[in-house]
A and B are shown apart, each in its own frame.
Chain A
Amino acid sequence: MYKFDRKFILGASAAAAAAFFAAGCAGDSAAPAGANSDDTLTYENGKRVIDGGRYYATVNDKRGPYYVNTDTESGGYTYGRTPTENELNAWNTTVTPWRLPPEGEGTVEEGEAVYEAKCVMCHGDFGSGGGGYPALAKGNAYDNVKTLKYQRLTPDHEGPIRVFGNYWPEASTLWWYIMEGMPHPDTRSLTDDEVYALVAYILNLNEMEIDGVEVDEDFVLNQETFSKIVMPNKDGFEPNIKGPNALDDVRAYYANPANFGAQKIASADARCMHDCQKDTVKVVPITIEQKDFLPPLSEVRDLPKVEGISAAEAEAKATYEQSCAVCHGAAGMGAPVVGDKKAWAAVVGKGMDTVYSNAIRGTDAGMPPKGGTDLSDDKLKAVVDYMISQSK
């Protein structure tokens, strides 16, 4: 047993045992009938539930504890309409292993230029990451696959690298995600060629090859070369999800608790109630405490401190937090950071007319017109005033 005083163990057990007879035993001994029998673990078609869990069939107009109006379950609804071909094309921009990206091309060199202009402020030099933003590369993708077995059991252990090159199973994911989700403040803004170029650049950072050819500076990524990318860790995932037997493979995987660290018992009676822990266990306290919480923890019931700001200022503050803080709230985004007195003194030094005008029209340095908002000029000016007031 671990580091407890024996008396304490006995004392606690005795108290617990007494309470058990008083309160615990009678109440819950009756488990639902058939809880663990197999018919509750399969669908009506006899196939096992895909996630390894329980199935609730509709019986006598009830599904589990819920009453249902089974009349509503037979279809016959005529709402909505058929989408047009153009509508389908407009929304279906997904790139998958079985659906190539649109025609286009880009080189590693072009990708580096786009990266320096639109990505480096978050993802760091050469995709090194930082400030919470993910790294895009950490050296040679093929070499780094072996790190996936690393376990950080102690702080001096090296952990697994999980970046695009050595971890992701498919390159289509990168193309799709850059197109739909990047850059953060203005997604769906890159051209197809820019996306090809960025993917080429990231392949290069990961020291990858396509069809035996190194993705170097002049490499041209297009539909054809893209289709030949083979990711180093493509077989690093389980269960199988490809091909006609995929769903049965998933079913079989989750039918075995040992695959995913779960524990099953034949019945409630089979669970361990006494002397359950191994002799090797210890009580492990917090060693490095994380407590950087916003707002700080408090269970106090009192009146909130009133912030001495007007309704207009409060609105400007809310707008700032909603729309401007993505860039102006974090160092490294290129925008003057709110609170940085020196940076804002330089901004204000240009004269307020220029400051307002830049805010409204945008700048070449990356500030979108009105910061990407649709605020009126006056409201936008109030936001600018608020940001300056917070930086004095």
Chain B
Amino acid sequence: MRNEHSQDAAENVSAERRNFFKKTAALSATAIAGTGMLAGTNAMAEDDPVIMNTPDWGHKIGYGVTKNRYGMPSPYEHNITRRNAQLLSSGNWQASIAMCPIQDLSGIMTPNGLFFSRCHGGIPTINPSEWRLMIHGLVEKPLVLTLEQLKRYPNVSRVHFVECPANGGPEWRGPQFNSIQFAKGMMSNAEWTGVYLKDILKDLGLKPNARWMLAEGIDSSHMGRTVPVDKVLDDAMIVWGQNGEALRPEQGYPVRLLLPGWEGNLCVKWLGRLEFAEEPFYAKEETAKYTALKPTGKAIQHFYANEVNSIITNPCPEKPWTDLKKGDLVEIEGLAWSGMGTIDGVDISFDGGDNWVEANLKGLVLPKSWTRFSFLYKYEGKPLILASRARDDAGYIQPTIDQEVSVMGVESVYHRNGIASWEVTSDGKVNNVQVRSEFKDVDGKMTIVGEA
């Protein structure tokens, strides 16, 4: 209903029109750019013009259902996008990563167009009718499937996050990004639809000496990774669906491997070949990269699960508290996840991790999935160091940065899940900080400087 003041006008359109033109002339001095129709003759300075006036969308007919047959977000949301940084690219944008704007997501599902994206040889455009999956090696019955045949298997849908194990990896030595999108945006969460690999293998006769599976992509990078059969026979999925529609090209269209909770890189996209073998394959992305170098000089290879982790999404550098006034009640909100199980609980600290209180979980709490946490806080305009600490049902709790660095050093690159903190300044600005001790390195052993 048009925001008119006069009962007569609402009942009598022609009277209203006459009124309108008179009023428009009278009000031209207070017209507000961007509003189409001016209505309130009685508008006072304290009245909000967007309430007093009728904007274009309030009286002009909108566009038809024939436009945007595949729907798009409001054009006003154009700043909510994935983002890149040259620092996180291997020379070109075809071997690079696009970070998910986790600061702007709600709930636990990531819209497919905002899902973080990583590729090693660009994103291929694959014709689904020319896609094949080959399963061979140590199986009694090797198999070739078309996409139609694959989709004939009874399907399951599961909500899981996919996280690059380098999420947060640029910050082992200290904070670098004053942005949650770049500090923690190498991850997203979706409902995946596909078939459990163990259900396909039932008919293929996996040989007893099969210990490892190679998963290989058919894109130009032909990226491969070795997976232990334990995971294959537990919850490994071959998926074609993402949040109710086909996988997006960036997520491996038409088919990817999904290893719930494990390194995103292991969830091979544009999947084409699965080979079972007695010995591992030593692919490039499990030797040169995705190995975590420790101060001992030894590197962890086959580092599978993304460990328990969390981050406060509100506030964060992109979503500060600068609009709050003392006494306002505000929800501290965040995401917790674990590739090793289900989130059991999350604690919040206001003093950089010295003292903790338990937050509430909210919404769906699912295994190997993003889980929301919430804490209601009375804003006092005081400086804070906000931190969150998640734990899971396998018994893990997030380490402090000191605990993690003492084992992993600062050259690990991957699997950083130490407690993250935000500095909230007295004027509500939010900055990325780390609460940590200074270390020295004594013959492969990390030691805290100044510790008794």
Q: Do chains A and B interact in one complex? A: yes
CB distance from B67 to the nearest CB of A (A): 16
Q: Tell me if B64 is interfacial: C-beta within 8 Å of chain A.
A: no
B347 contacts A271, C-beta separation under 8 Å? yes
Are B451 and A280 interface neighbours, CB within 8 A? yes
User: Are B288 and A167 interface neighbours, CB within 8 A?
Assistant: yes
Residues of A within 8 A of B23 (CB): none
Task: Write out the residue numbers on chain A whose beta carbons fall within 8 Å of the beta carbon of B272.
Answer: 91
The interface residues of chain B lying within 8 Å CB-to-CB of A292 are: 85-87
Which A290-308 residues sit within 8 Å CB-CB of chain B?
290-295, 297-304
Q: Does A172 lie within 8 Å of B356, measured CB to CB?
A: no
User: Most chain-A Cβ atoms within 10 A of its Cβ — which of B103, B152, B203?
Assistant: B203
Q: A50-B228, A263-B403, A277-B400 are in contact. Are A65 and B367 (CB under 8 A)?
A: yes
Which residue of chain B has its CB nearest to the CB of A238? B298
B250 CB–A CB distance under 8 Å: no
Indicate with 1 or 0, residue by residue over B199-217, a CB within 8 angstroms of chain A CB atoms: 1101100000001001010
Contact with A along B342-365 (1 / 0, CB 8 A): 101101111111111111110011
Which chain B residue has the least Cβ–Cβ distance from A145? Answer: B297
Binds A, one of B50-58, B109-117, B139-147, B238-246: B139-147
Residue of B nearest to A74 (CB): B202
User: In whole angstroms, how far apart are the Cα atoms of A309 and B385 in the complex?
Assistant: 47
Q: A67-100: which have CB < 8 Å to B?
A: 68-69, 72-83, 87-88, 91-92, 94, 96-98
Tell me the complex Cα distance, A260–B154, Å: 38
Please state if B90 and A134 are interface contacts (CB–CB under 8 Å): yes
Chain B's closest residue to A148 (CB) is B297
With A131-B91, A237-B300, A273-B355 known as contacts, the answer to whether A278 contacts B448 (CB < 8 A) is yes
Chain B residues positioned under 8 Å from A243 (CB to CB): 279
Q: What chain A residues lie within 8 Å of B136 (beta carbons)?
A: 83, 88, 92
Checking A76, A282, A301 against B435 with a beta-carbon cut-off of 8 angstroms, the contacting residue is A282
Judge whether B47 is part of the interface by a CB distance below 8 angstroms. no
**Contact, CB under 8 Å: A283 / B433:** yes
- Cα A24 to Cα B349 in complex, Å, equals 12
**B429 an interface residue at 8 Å Cβ cutoff?**
no
Pair B350/A41 contact, Cβ less than 8 Å? no
CB of A375 to closest CB in B, whole Å: 13
- The answer to whether B366 and A65 touch across the interface, beta carbons within 8 angstroms, is yes
Chain B residues within an 8 Å CB radius of A72: 154, 199
Which residues, 217 to 238 on B, are CB-close (under 8 Å) to A?
220-224, 226, 228-231, 234-235
Interface size band for B: 35 or more
- Contact A17-B357, Cβ < 8 Å, known A55-B234, A134-B90: yes
Quick check: A28 and B361 within 8 Å, CB to CB? yes
Report the Cα distance A265→B104, complex, angstroms. 33
A83 and B339 contact, CB distance less than 8 A: no
Residue A257 at the B interface, CB < 8 A? yes
Which residues on the A side are within 8 Å of B443 (C-beta)?
149
B303 adjacent to chain A (CB < 8 Å):
yes
How many angstroms from the CA of A148 to the CA of B441 in the assembled complex? 13
The A-B contact count (CB < 8 A) is 474
Interface positions, chain B 232-268, Cβ under 8 Å from A, are 234-235, 261-262
- From B13-21, B38-46, B387-395, the one touching the partner chain is B387-395
Contact B85 A294 (CB under 8 A): yes
Chain B nearest Cβ from A144, distance in angstroms: 11
- Cβ contact within 8 Å between B301 and A241: yes
Is A275's CB under 8 angstroms from B396's CB? no
A303→B76 contact, CB < 8 A: yes
Residue from A54, A236, A239, A283 in contact with B302 in the complex, judged by beta carbons closer than 8 Å: A239
Q: Is the interface of A mostly helix, strand, loop or mixed?
A: loop
Given contacts A242-B279, A293-B85, contact A152 B173 (CB under 8 A): yes
| Cα distance A287–B175 in the bound complex, in angstroms | 8
Question: Quick check: A285 and B423 within 8 Å, CB to CB?
Answer: yes
| Contact A20 B436, beta carbon cutoff 8 Å | no
> Which residues on B sit within 8 Å (CB–CB) of A241?
226, 280, 301-302
Kindly supply a per-residue 1/0 record for chain A positions 243-275, scoring 1 wherever the CB is within 8 Å of any chain B CB and 0 otherwise. 110110011001001111111111010011111
Q: Flag if B437 contacts A282 (CB, 8 Å).
A: yes
Q: Is the CB of A12 within 8 A of B176?
A: no
Q: In the complex, which residue of chain B has the Cβ closest to the Cβ of A83?
A: B144
User: How far does the alpha carbon of A32 sit from the alpha carbon of B391 in the complex, in Å?
Assistant: 12
Contact of B216 among A43, A94, A164, A276 (CB under 8 A): A94
Q: Is the CB of A284 within 8 A of B434?
A: yes
Instruction: Please tell me if A46 contacts chain B, counting CB pairs below 8 Å.
Output: no
Do B303 and A82 touch across chains, with their CB atoms under 8 A apart?
no
Bound together, the chains give a CA A4 to CA B440 distance in angstroms of 24
Q: Are A283 and B423 in contact, CB atoms less than 8 angstroms apart? A: yes
A35-B393, A184-B95, A297-B83 are known contacts. Are A149 and B295 too (CB-CB below 8 A)? Answer: yes
Interface: B281 (CB within 8 A) = yes
**Chain A residue, CB-CB nearest to B301:** A237
CB distance from A3 to the nearest CB of B (A): 10
The interface centre, meaning the residue of B275, B393, B398, B402 with most chain A CB atoms within 10 A of its CB, is B393
Interchain nearest-CB distance for A224 vs B (Å): 20
The interface residues of chain B lying within 8 Å CB-to-CB of A131 are 91
In the complex, chain A residues whose CB is within 8 Å of the CB of B380: 11, 15
- Pair A181/B222 contact, Cβ less than 8 Å: yes
A168 at the B interface (CB under 8 A): yes
Least CB separation from A294: chain B residue: B84
- Cross-chain contact A187 with B434 (CB below 8 angstroms): no
Give the nearest-CB partner of B299 in chain A.
A237
Of the candidates A19, A66, A261, A297, the one whose C-beta lies within 8 Å of that of B357 is A19
Contact A173 B91 (CB under 8 A): no
A300 touches B394 (CB 8 A): no
Cα A16 to Cα B198 in complex, Å, equals 48
Chain B residues, CB < 8 A from A11 = 380, 382
Return 26 A-B CB contacts under 8 Å, by A number. Answer: A13-B355, A15-B377, A24-B375, A41-B395, A49-B234, A51-B305, A51-B340, A53-B305, A73-B199, A74-B202, A82-B142, A94-B275, A96-B280, A132-B86, A133-B90, A148-B293, A148-B297, A238-B298, A260-B408, A263-B403, A276-B400, A280-B402, A285-B175, A286-B432, A297-B83, A301-B76
7 tightest Cβ-Cβ pairs between the two chains A and B: A75-B202, A53-B340, A54-B341, A261-B407, A20-B357, A72-B154, A280-B437
| Beyond A17-B357, A53-B394, A261-B406, 20 extra complex contacts between A and B, CB < 8 Å | A15-B377, A16-B348, A19-B375, A23-B375, A25-B358, A28-B358, A28-B360, A151-B411, A153-B441, A170-B287, A181-B221, A187-B121, A188-B220, A237-B291, A261-B412, A265-B391, A265-B395, A276-B355, A283-B433, A290-B177
